[in-house]
Structure 1
Amino acid sequence: MKTTESIDLQKASQILKLLGDKTRLTMMKLLESHDCCVCEFVAIFKMSQPAISQHLRKLRDIELVKEERRGQWIFYSINQEHGDYPLISSILHHLPDQGGSISDLEEQGLRVCCE
């Protein structure tokens, strides 16, 4: 049996609570294979920019996502260096692919609407 490093229960609880929100869980699944900016999430989730920013702030606050400035825009990606990334990755592995949302954005000409 392969042994893996265990994580703190408090930390695991915090991560699972954040990922218990369908929007944040879907964001993480999307970020697993695509960097996205706020405007793309606004289009995918049909939510306001402030609502999307709040979800991203919660994920950023515990460093599950990282941001990179590209020009005037900020793109988000999963922080694979996070100490608990193996837990997050194993959760995301069991979820359905969300690439269709990205394809829909591309078809609508919204994939890179902020560059």
Structure 2
Amino acid sequence: MNVRSPERPLATAPGDLPPLTVAEVVHRPVAEPDAVRSGDGPAVASFVLGLVGLLALNIVLGPMAIALATLAFVRGTSRRGRAVLGLTLGIADLIVLAALVSSSGAVEWSFG
């Protein structure tokens, strides 16, 4: 029976990552649980939703932007600036909505 030694790398396809030894494959640590996630996605989504919310659907997109920015801060995002912008734009969406409702008495508005 031919057994590979731990120092001998396993064969890989060209262009793959550097080859792993048998010991690395057998003793590879288990991936971290999903509880440790990055907050970068919610930060960017918050910014985009807050920006779009200034133009349309601010009653829906404003609170979503605020919630996603808060989630990004809780998860410890590396994009704090985007999360702050998303939070600010989400609040601005609600302020624009309040101004439009107080001026026209309705929850609708149009360009022109």
Fold in common (TM above 0.5)? no
Normalising by structure 2, we get a TM-score of 0.30
Normalising by structure 1, we get a TM-score of 0.29
- Structure number with greater CO (CA < 8 Å, separation at least 6) is 1
Structure number having the greater strand percentage: 1
Larger Rg: 2
